[in-house]
Amino acid sequence: MVDNVVSVDTSVTPAVFNYSDTFNVAVPFIDRHLEEGRGEKVAIRIHGGGSVTYKTLVEYVNKAGNALIDLGCRKGDRVLMVVKDSAEFYYLFWGAIKAGIIPVPLNTLLRAKDYAYMIENSEATAMIYSTEYSPEIEPAIQKSNFKPKINLSIDGSGECLAKHMLAASSNLKAAKTSANEDCFWLYSSGTTGGPKGVIHAHKDMVVTSQHYGVGILGINEKDTCFSAAKLFFAYGLGNAMTFPLWVGAEAVLFPGPPTPDSCHEIIENYRPTIFYGVPTLYAAQLKSMETNDPDLSSIRVCTSAGEALPPDLLKRWLDKTGIPLLDGIGTTEILHIFLSNRIDNVKPGASGLTVPGYEGKVVDSDGKEVPNGETGDLMIKGDSLLKLYWRNPEKTAESLKDGWMYTGDTYYRDDEGFFFCCGRSDDMLKVGGIWCSPVEIENKLVEHPKVLEAAIVGREDDEQLIKPEAFIVLNNSADAGDDLKAELLEHCKSGLARYKYPRWFNFVEDLPKTATGKIQRFQLRSNH
């Protein structure tokens, strides 16, 4: 077989893949489109920033890869990316992969302390970032005990990646890699300690793009994709990049925050056929539609992930728009959605059936499968599972068992094979589709001089979506009141990402604890 080729047998379900011995995934996702005559076809449209053809995409991916090599990056080196949704994200991500360098996209909503941890943990050779994130990136580099050799903004007046790319060659031979070799990382938040580096192989993006993108969504060359979830998420990475690139479709990128108004404007202007959102956004869109009537007629299917889609929200969406909305669940570790409803088979309240190519089971504390209808831990098996957690053998051994992965979610399965989420198996919160640790928010609150203790739990808002709720013990109970609530909110804003801000503040005399002093968050949750 020729190098860098994957054959896909779609005559069977699930599709079967056969990779050449030498396989660099940048070739089928990027270079292949020139061979198949798509050079002049638009690959990316950027809201407010023009478009990029597949020919231009290939040229600038090669330039980015060569620029990284010229700067001193070598095969296997990590490049941290704090990059907004833009063509440059594509160039840097795929240029690194083609050069055998490992891109590590990071959440652009984090703070300096978070980035400092990831710099130290990854021991990255380079940190590349969009200019607007420099207020958090520059202090992070200063704080970190490990200093990347290369620290560059994407563009700007001084030294930047764009200048190095301008001088770099537009020809780049793909580095010799294999389907199972390390390709890219993502960081996944954990219940304790810092975020975990999740290592994915070259084959993983092929697997998710074919099994879910083609197999469930039926994505094809004529589709236009718009994802509210950003590219740094595993969900957004598939939605807005790997799925359209796999079939030669078009992606619409929006660098700003995905508000209902901005999403409706983009849908009306660019006419996407597939829209990828999260429950929080769909709820906000419906609220906006009470006074506005956007034209959503171009969309043939919508997807939802990140958190469970409340059945009432699904019903209201269908009643208002008539557009299929498919709930599903994916994880950073499995890269994209592995349980999903189908366009012709939706069960409200369910995460769906297993996506062909994946297996799912619900097990008890001993790892034995439980009967349908009984709750337990959800385990998933499939070819896009992470290779391991970086420098965390304990977590790797705990999560991966004989090719199966513990997701950390509590589920049950009904007699028709649909899986239903019952919540997290630990105290992690998923807010707006993003995992966050209650401990981090608690620690920030306790920094305030008037706070003695704090506990954070998840609470459903009016749209049945989970948001952080704070229970606070004060040094002086006489300080309690609305003024202090406002003060604590401003305090949180000084050091936490927006989605981590508590939405409710409760002042209490004490917190429920175990005999060893651990906060019993479940007791606080049970108050609702």
pLDDT digits (tens, 9 = 90+) for 31-44: 999 999 999 999 99
What span, in angstroms and rounded, lies between the C-alpha atoms of 116 and 138? 10
CATH code of domain 211-424: 3.40.50.12780
pLDDT digits (tens, 9 = 90+) for 84-112: 999 999 999 999 999 999 999 999 999 99
- pLDDT level of residue 194 (50, 70, 90 thresholds): low
pLDDT value of residue 516: 41
Looking at this protein, which amino acid is placed at residue 257? Answer: P
Phi, psi of 392 (to 5 degrees): -140, 70
pLDDT value of residue 436: 77
Q: Pinpoint the residues of the chain covered by CATH 3.30.300.30.
A: 437-525
Q: Is 424 exposed, middle or buried (0-12, 13-18, 19+ CB in 10 A)?
A: middle
Beta-carbon-side half-sphere exposure of residue 320 (alpha carbons within 13 Å): 21
Instruction: Output the pTM of the full model.
Output: 0.86
CATH code of domain 24-176: 3.40.50.12780
Residue % of the chain over a pLDDT of 90: 81
What's CA 235's distance to the chain center, in Å?
Answer: 4
Query: Integer distance in angstroms from the first to the last C-alpha of the chain?
Result: 60
pLDDT value of residue 193: 52
Q: Between residues 213 and 422, which one has the greater pLDDT?
A: 213
Pairing mode, strands 224-227 and 250-253? parallel
Residue with tokens 């409340």: 310
The least confident of 160-164, 225-229, 432-436 is: 432-436
pLDDT value of residue 192: 43
What span, in angstroms and rounded, lies between the C-alpha atoms of 453 and 42? 54
pLDDT value of residue 235: 95
For residue 428 the two structure tokens come to 């992690």
The least confident of 189-203, 372-386, 475-489 is: 189-203
Phi, psi of 121 (to 5 degrees): -65, -40
Burial of 241-256, coded b for 16+ CB within 10 Å and e otherwise, reads: bbbbbbbbbbbbbbbe
pLDDT at residue 518 is higher than 70: no
pLDDT digits (tens, 9 = 90+) for 235-285: 999 999 999 999 999 999 999 999 999 999 999 999 999 999 998 789 889
pLDDT digits (tens, 9 = 90+) for 363-387: 998 999 999 999 899 999 999 999 9
pLDDT at residue 517 is higher than 60: no
pLDDT value of residue 515: 45
Looking at this protein, which amino acid is placed at residue 426? Answer: D
pLDDT at residue 487 is higher than 60: yes
If phi > 0 it is left, if psi is from -120 to 50 it is alpha, else beta; for residue 435 that is beta
pLDDT value of residue 124: 98
8 A C-beta contact, residue 462 and residue 310: no
If phi > 0 it is left, if psi is from -120 to 50 it is alpha, else beta; for residue 87 that is alpha
Rg of the Cα atoms in the chain: 23
What span, in angstroms and rounded, lies between the C-alpha atoms of 135 and 129? 11
For residue 139 the two structure tokens come to 């202090």
For residue 494 the two structure tokens come to 């000084």
CATH code of domain 437-525: 3.30.300.30
Average pLDDT value over all residues in the chain: 93
- pLDDT level of residue 308 (50, 70, 90 thresholds): confident
What span, in angstroms and rounded, lies between the C-alpha atoms of 243 and 205? 9
Helices and strands (DSSP H and E) totals, the chain: 17, 28
pLDDT at residue 191 is higher than 70: no
What span, in angstroms and rounded, lies between the C-alpha atoms of 372 and 506? 39
- pLDDT level of residue 329 (50, 70, 90 thresholds): very high
8 A C-beta contact, residue 358 and residue 381: yes
Q: Pinpoint the residues of the chain covered by CATH 3.40.50.12780.
A: 24-176, 211-424
For residue 513 the two structure tokens come to 């604890």
For residue 493 the two structure tokens come to 């804003």
pLDDT value of residue 168: 98
Phi, psi of 152 (to 5 degrees): -140, 140
- pLDDT level of residue 427 (50, 70, 90 thresholds): confident
